[in-house]
Chains A and B, each alone.
Chain A
Amino acid sequence: MSEEFQASRPIYMQIADKIKQQMIRGELLPGNKLPSVREMAVQSGVNPNTIQRTYSELERMEIVETKRGQGTFVTENEGAIHQLKLGMQMDIIELFVHNMKELGLTEEEIISGLKRYFNGRQEIKND
């Protein structure tokens, strides 16, 4: 089936995020070729113009390169991928901290809450 997309964000960004996650997890390695625009469109059930826009966006961020007549490739620049990883981590942390502060929690409470959460999960695993 075609993928589900969130209503409130452009589809080209949601696909870009998915590709970025694959790079960070190492499922797409430096120098790897991305599927062609058409293949990607069929895989995700999405308009080819949207995929084109996704690829342009990734290119603008300098994490992929399009080689004329050959296709689109993950950058060989591992530093760029590392930066991407740090950037995405930071985004998630900022969102989390923002939400916790909305609840009125202090930094100490957030940290101890996180510790309790991980310890709790550990205990469940050990049971």
Chain B
Amino acid sequence: MIEFKNVSKKYGRDIGLVDVSFSLEKGKIYGLIGPNGSGKSTTLKIIAGLVHFSKGTVLVDGIPVDRRIAKKVAYLSELDMFYQPFKVKDMIDFYASQFEDFRMDRANELLSFMKLDPDKKLKQLSKGNRGRLKLVLAMARDASVLLLDEPFSGLDPMVRDSIVKGLLSYIDYENQTVIIATHEIDEIEPLLDEVLAVKDGKVIDRQNVEDLRETKGLSVIQWMKETFKE
């Protein structure tokens, strides 16, 4: 369960978020969509306790967020954040040492699911395999919140498919809240319960994906084109 109450964030003079309020339930998968610079990543980083906000309240499972919320929140960054000389298994051990909820058995299962060699050096991994490893690290935790920032960006269709399948296979879909920020809407539409449209630091609309189809006959991408029309 995640709650934003009147949250604002400024980067110097630039706007990050403006008076944003929403709440997200557990057991659901949410898509956060919107143009570059609209506030998607800022929203995720605030939930992960990585960014201080200027005003408002943010709660995860009723707890006000700060850096320590990382205990409950698994975060997949859009950036590559690997220490090059490490091997895949070193990275797994490092994560296990940092997070109490890291499940070594699941990490190993995920590695073989993603066909990743634990003895391979990180600098030898292809971009696709780095994308897969990031998902392994995020999903091996028993976190109540899973945040994925652009998990598909720049990856080929086979890698995207293995990420979607990995997500569906290992997510705790009754207890976790999952948020995926992405431009690749086609890829994830069938995964989502709801979509939130973000623009200029505001959540401008929110829809249940199946209701959108049932009542308006629109897919998310068609709805998005209407919502973001200038």
Residues of A within 8 A of B190 (CB): 2-3, 5, 11, 44-47, 50
A38 to B173, CA, bound (A): 9
Contact of B210 among A8, A44, A53 (CB under 8 A): A53
Encoded as 1 (CB less than 8 Å from any B CB) or 0, chain A from 1 to 27 comes to: 111010111111000000000000000
B164 A48 Cβ-Cβ under 8 A:
no
Complex Cα distance A42/B162, Å? 10
A44 vs B164: C-alpha distance when bound (angstroms):
10
Query: Smallest CB-CB separation from A52: which chain B residue?
Result: B173
**Contact yes or no, A47 B29, CB < 8 A:** yes
Considering the complex of A and B, which 6 residue pairs feature the smallest CB-CB distances, nearest first?
A7-B219, A8-B217, A46-B190, A48-B173, A10-B210, A10-B213
Chain B interface (Cβ within 8 Å of chain A)? 27-29, 157, 161, 164-165, 168-169, 171, 173, 187, 190-193, 209-210, 213-214, 217-219, 221-222
Is A106 interfacial (CB 8 A cutoff)? Answer: no
Decide: B29 and A8 in contact? CB cutoff 8 A.
no
B214 close to A10 (CB less than 8 A): yes
CB atoms of A38 and B168 under 8 A apart: yes
In the bound complex, what is the Cα–Cα distance between A1 and B171 (angstroms)?
A: 19
Give bound CA distance, A76 to B152, whole Å: 43
Whether A84 sits at the interface, judged by CB under 8 Å, is no
Residues of A within 8 A of B222 (CB): 7
Closest partner residue, chain A, to B219 (CB atom): A7
B210 → A minimal CB distance (Å): 5
Q: Which residue of B lies closest to A40 (CB)?
A: B168
Are A50 and B217 touching (Cβ within 8 A)? no
Q: Are A49 and B173 closer than 8 Å at their CB atoms?
A: yes
Cβ contact within 8 Å between A11 and B210: yes
Roughly how many angstroms separate A12 CA and B27 CA in the complex, as a whole number? 18
**Nearest CB to that of B216 among chain A residues?**
A8
Report whether B213 and A7 are in contact in the complex, using a CB–CB cutoff of 8 Å: yes
| Distance to closest chain B CB from A14 (angstroms) | 9
Would you call A41 an interface residue if the criterion is a C-beta within 8 Å of the partner chain's C-beta atoms? yes
Contacts of B157 in A (CB 8 A): 1
Give CA–CA (A9, B210) in the complex, Å: 8
Q: Known contacts being A2-B190, A8-B217, A11-B190, is A48 close to B168, with CB within 8 Å? A: yes
Known pairs A7-B222, A42-B165, A49-B27. 4 more at Cβ < 8 A? A8-B213, A10-B210, A48-B168, A49-B29
Interface string of A31-65 (1 = CB under 8 A from B): 00000001001101111111001000000000000
Residues of B within 8 Å of A41, CB to CB, are 168, 173
Q: How distant is A53 from chain B, measured CB to nearest CB, in Å?
A: 7
Contacts of A47 in B (CB 8 A): 29, 190-193
Q: Which of B169, B192, B193, B210 contacts A38 (CB 8 A)?
A: B169
Task: Please pick, from B168, B171, B187, B213, the residue contacting A11 in the complex, using a CB distance under 8 A.
Answer: B213
A120 to B169, CA, bound (A): 48
The interface residues of chain A lying within 8 Å CB-to-CB of B164 are: 2, 45
Min Cβ gap A19→B in Å is 16
Once A7-B219, A8-B213, A10-B214 are accepted as A-B contacts, the answer to whether A45 and B193 lie under 8 Å apart by CB is no
Please state if B168 and A12 are interface contacts (CB–CB under 8 Å). no
Query: Inside 8 A of B169's CB, which chain A residues have their CB?
Result: 38, 42
- In Å, the complex CA distance between A5 and B222 comes to 14
**Taking CB as reference atom, which chain A residue is nearest B214?**
A10
Contact B161 A2 (CB under 8 A): yes
